Chains A and B, each alone.
Chain A
């Protein structure tokens, strides 16, 4: 499938913006999670966990979905394809994994937000509210999205079996066309 250059540029811009925006948003939630884990201020801790849930629904999930969708458009609309090059395939798997984990993890963030509303602002209850889980997930997500970004820039070589076959088919077609019309 081939697309017009301006469509390709637009899709590429949308993909970069959503993907890098997603990485930045995840970095922010990671910073918030660290604050929630370490702050001695009950209102701050409560606010962090309420904010994390809202940020997840309004920023992280939309950006993750946008990154996935624009990535698919970008792959299928260019000569890279979706299953031809290992780096594209690995990026697809990473993106799907990140979105799936995020969607599942929203349940935990929802529970933390509920608990933040119920928990008294002082005493040992606050320690029960604190959770290292958002920090761990945030670190994992940052690493995963950084790897995806590095793959996008470096585009390490290597084709899949499917990509290899497709390329040979195309070369055969071109060679056959050249043989028929040698003086094009």
Chain B
């Protein structure tokens, strides 16, 4: 966020930035956000977005593997334990 002029409207006319209500660009942003949210939702529901930890642990073999790196020696990431259900951002 940039530094505004000392008096935001002084050098741009009083209404340059003081338009009330939802402007066109905000509406466009909103539509794009809704479309993206729906897209992500559909991907998650159809399995396309299933990229959580569970997905990768399936092909990792069994317990006879090399120990994890130093960061993950406790089976955790610096105390950041994943939730039971993984995540689906």
Contact of A111 among B4, B8, B56, B66 (CB under 8 A): B56
For the complex, what is the distance from the CA of A155 to the CA of B4, rounded to whole Å?
10
Using A104-B87, A111-B53, A131-B56 as known contacts, say yes or no to A57 and B65 having CB atoms under 8 A apart. no
Q: Are A118 and B19 in contact (CB under 8 A)?
A: no
Q: Are A167 and B18 in contact (CB under 8 A)?
A: yes
What chain A residues lie within 8 Å of B69 (beta carbons)?
A: 50, 53, 113-114, 117
Q: Which residues of A104-124 are within 8 A (CB) of B?
A: 104-108, 110-115, 117-119
Q: Which residues of A73-119 are within 8 A (CB) of B?
A: 74-75, 78-80, 85-86, 88, 90-91, 100-101, 104-108, 110-115, 117-119
Q: Is the interface of B mostly helix, strand, loop or mixed?
A: loop
- Chain B: residues with Cβ within 8 Å of the partner, total of 40
Q: Are B26 and A90 in contact (CB under 8 A)?
A: yes
Residue B46, interface by CB 8 Å: no
Chain B residues near A (Cβ < 8 Å): 1-4, 6-8, 16-23, 25-26, 29, 51-53, 56-57, 59-61, 65-69, 71-72, 77-78, 80, 82, 86-87, 89
Chain A residues near B (Cβ < 8 Å): 8-9, 12, 15, 50, 53-54, 57, 71, 74-75, 78-80, 85-86, 88, 90-91, 100-101, 104-108, 110-115, 117-119, 125, 128, 131, 133, 137, 152-153, 155-159, 161, 164, 167
* Nearest 3 Cβ contacts at the A-B interface: A158-B23, A111-B53, A118-B65
CB pairs A–B below 8 angstroms (13 shown): A12-B2, A78-B3, A79-B4, A79-B7, A107-B53, A107-B77, A107-B86, A110-B53, A114-B60, A155-B2, A158-B23, A159-B19, A167-B18
